[in-house]
Amino acid sequence: MQLTATGPTLGVVGGGQLGRMLAEAASPLGVSLVVLDPTPECPAYPVAREQIVGSFDDEEGIRALGERSDALTFEIELADPDVMERIAEDAGVPVQPSPDTLRLIQDKLVQKRALADAGIAVPEFRAVGSPEELRDALSELGTPAMVKARRGGYDGRGNLPIEGPDDAGGVLADLGTDAMVEAFVPFVRELSVIGVKGRDELRTYVAGENVHEEEILRETVVPARTSDEVRERAQGVAREVLSLMDGRGTYGIELFETEAGEILVNEIAPRPHNSGHWTIEGARTSQFENHVRAVLGLPLGPTEVQKTTVSANLLGDAPSREARLSGVADVLAEPNAHLHWYGKREVRDLRKMGHVTVTGEEGEDDRGTLLETARSCRERLEFEP
């Protein structure tokens, strides 16, 4: 790639907070972003070069995106792989990661089967299409268990715990009958590894520890509060997952650490991931910059941790209203605290509105204190009525 006054253009299906942070990371590289998103003046709009307003499966919109771009990628799994594949073939614009990978990820059952067939450890699972099938599966897997819609789940939506066979009808009424059920994993902690697949190289970031509530990520602690051996094992599993994926880019790989120290793969996201936001301040190269590099076929940046880091998500509350945040000055006065506001116009219950990252001093390893500070910063931020 040669830089010019205009530089290359990356087209992104999706213009949410991930698209916004991709644009922020791309700019210093001389790369411009054009995004496709159904929401006018979406979060990425202020920092992208251009927004095309259209749905994630809008063939005309994606075709216009391809005409303006040197390469295409996506920041949301709701992108239509068939449309992207047709446009890539017609316009000669590469799509990274590949549409085949997007198809694999979009169906959680297909994803789990591919991992299991490759010998990668995953929780026990069964396909279910009716309350009767779910009850039969529970008799094998035991309860409690987790029932997941095969398609369309996002940010914890589409996942429901089930306590016993009597709940089968109600759970499938909420999720739909195209579902799967996973055995409960008695995990010690939830981990994630951000991995990057480049033109001819794989890189992984250190494993982070994720804290979830109501199936939604609240905090990520880096490095994860576990042994070096477990963190290295998690990175090894992530590299195995990356070897299965077709196409370049950043991948978020969610994992369980069991009491026996085993690493099980939970889910994969073929894009930058919420649990990798810490990399902006905490790693030598952020997950967003490495995604841009990978998609454009550029050398990947180093992924080593620079500082112990904790990130905490800022989630919306009910009722829905105009987004106005107070307490910003208090947080910015906190040493080593970094606020990321996504610019969404409306607050909704549990909607991701931003995040706060707190970094440690050189050599500091008191992750518990950093976690308390990150939570304190979040508590000082309030949505005004």
Tell me which CATH homologous superfamily contains domain 187-383: ATP-grasp fold, B domain (3.30.470.20)
Cβ count within 10 A of residue 169: 14
What's the pLDDT tens digit per position in 201-254? Answer: 999 999 999 999 888 999 999 999 999 999 999 999 999 999 999 999 999 999
CA separation for the pair 288, 272 (Å, rounded): 6
Q: 244 to each of 77, 116, 163, 300, 366, how far by Cα in Å? A: 18, 11, 34, 19, 36
Instruction: Report the distance separating Cα 305 and Cα 281, nearest Å.
Output: 9
Task: Give one word for 260, left, alpha or beta, with left for phi > 0 and alpha for psi -120 to 50.
Answer: alpha
The whole-angstrom separation of Cα 195 and Cα 231 is 13
- Listed in order, the ranges of the chain carrying CATH 3.30.470.20 are 187-383
Q: At what angle do helices 108-117 and 228-244 cross, to 10 degrees?
A: 110
Regions of the chain with pLDDT less than 70: 1-6, 154-156, 362-364
Task: State which fold the 9-95 domain adopts.
Answer: Rossmann fold (3.40.50)
Dihedral in degrees, nearest 10, Cα atoms 120, 128, 109, 275: -90
Global pTM value = 0.95
Element (H, E) at 76: none
Fold of 124-183: Dna Ligase; domain 1 (3.30.1490)
Which residues share a beta bridge with 12?
A: 35, 73
Kindly report, as residue ranges, where domains of CATH 3.30.1490.20 are found in the chain: 124-183
- Residue at 343: amino acid letter: G
> Which H helix or E strand runs over 218?
strand 216-222
Amino acid residing at 297 = G
User: Where in the chain do CATH 3.40.50.20 domains reside?
Assistant: 9-95
The β-bridge partners of 211 are: 219
Residue 323 has what pLDDT? 93
